Amino acid sequence: MSDVDSFDPVAFLERAVGTPSHEDVAAMRELLVDALATHGVEATVDDAGNTLASKDGRESGPHVVLNTHIDTVVPHIPPKRDGDVLRGRGSCDAKGPLAVLLAAFLATDPERGRVTLAVTPDEETASTGAHYLDLDADCYVVGEPTELDVCTAARGRFQGTVTLTGSAAHAAEPESGVSAIQGAAAALRALDSFDDSRGPGVHDALGAPTLTATTIEGGEATNQIPAECSFVVDRRSVPPETADGFFDGLRAHLRAAVPDAVGVTVDPQERTTPFLEAFATSEDSDVVHALADAGAGDVRPFGAATEASYFAREAPTVVFGPGSLADETGAVAHAEREYVDLPEVETGARIATAALRELLA
């Protein structure tokens, strides 16, 4: 029996999917800590709720961090096994990747350096756990559903509210007021030209950024010139754009496009943690080569923003794991039909183990 086989990632995954973690991660965290203890590894839980465990080699070397999260979106969907397919909430996002990384962690005794398993509690919401981590790593493998491809880049996501202000008047005499809705119309048109004048350009791996208005509201009465109108913008960024740079640029761009009589403000979404910014890791990084050499799939971008954003500021970071965000039928992650192919989980465990051993040999 191999070291990987001594821990059964599929059996762990079935228990994990059966453990609700959409509102409270305490039970799921306990399951993880108990699994580590069963294999002789003591875990700690820090003040932000992160579960941490490490193994050290006999000699100095790289510090490799394996990261994913234990929280899921609502609602909880109990596990249902259908042959080689496991359905249920979290099966691919991200308890399937957790099972893979846990298997690799338990199967590896570093010859040099250090491996740390760092599992966060709130990736689907505020990412306070990931923001709190300070691990001084040399590379990160972040578990998300990538169909076992090695994802070296991902777009960021920023959200803000654009508010236009004018002055109310009777609709029978529109010239006596200043319409915030007319100001919003000018601002919405200006979104289309933002990237041509102030955007970061087209990224080699991620392509062009996007900027989209997603909701709008304004006006108080059907016979009144509206004094206020606002809309929400969704920004999918590419390197090297930062959140601060984007919002500063958008303020200046909209101010120039909207009539002077209309006030314009751009307010970032209120967050207790930084926005998830875009990142890109070199395909020549050791962690990319190790996973590719171990049998991982294509090297490509990831389709969603992840906590990898926080770690990529520090060290080369890749996203890897079983399952897919979507298939030919539609959404998989976050959908009621969420599932993972169990042979893919087993293969992922073997790949992650081989890559980790190469990095720490």
Write the secondary structure of 117-152 as one string of H (helix), E (strand) and C (coil): EEEECCCCCCCHHHHHCCCCCCEEEEECCCCCCEEE
Q: Which CATH code of 3.40.47.10, 3.30.300.160, 3.30.70.360, 3.40.190.290 fits the domain covering 156-268?
A: 3.30.70.360
Give the pLDDT confidence of 141-181 residue by residue, as tens digits.
Answer: 999 999 999 999 999 999 999 999 999 999 999 999 999 99
Give the pLDDT confidence of 91-110 residue by residue, as tens digits.
Answer: 999 999 999 999 999 999 99
Residues of the chain with CATH 3.40.630.10: 9-154+278-360
Q: Catalytic site residue 71? A: yes
Which position has the token pair 């996002």? 93
311/298 Cα distance (integer angstroms) = 22
Fold of 9-154+278-360: Aminopeptidase (3.40.630)
Question: Which pLDDT score, from 0 to 100, does residue 142 have?
Answer: 98
Q: One of 14, 71, 93, 341 is an active-site residue; which one?
A: 71
If 0-12 CB within 10 Å is exposed, 13-18 middle and 19+ buried, where does residue 98 land?
buried
Question: Which pLDDT score, from 0 to 100, does residue 58 have?
Answer: 92
Question: Which pLDDT score, from 0 to 100, does residue 6 have?
Answer: 86
Is the pLDDT at 216 greater than 50? The verdict is yes
Backbone angle region of 276, left / alpha / beta, with phi > 0 → left and psi within -120 to 50 → alpha? beta
Buried b (16+ CB within 10 A) or exposed e, 192-217: eebbeeebbeebebbeebebeeeeee
Backbone angle region of 187, left / alpha / beta, with phi > 0 → left and psi within -120 to 50 → alpha? alpha
The mean predicted confidence, pLDDT, of the chain is 96
26/49 Cα distance (integer angstroms) = 9
Backbone angle region of 201, left / alpha / beta, with phi > 0 → left and psi within -120 to 50 → alpha? left
Give the pLDDT confidence of 259-273 residue by residue, as tens digits.
Answer: 999 999 999 999 999
Nearest Cα neighbor of 119 from 128, 107, 110, 129 is: 129
Give the pLDDT confidence of 283-303 residue by residue, as tens digits.
Answer: 999 999 999 999 999 999 999
Q: One of 123, 195, 307, 346 is an active-site residue; which one?
A: 123
What are the distances in angstroms from CA 83 to CA 90, 168, 323, 341, 343? 18, 64, 16, 9, 10
Is the pLDDT at 5 greater than 70? The verdict is no
Q: Catalytic site residue 123? A: yes
Residues of the chain with CATH 3.30.70.360: 156-268
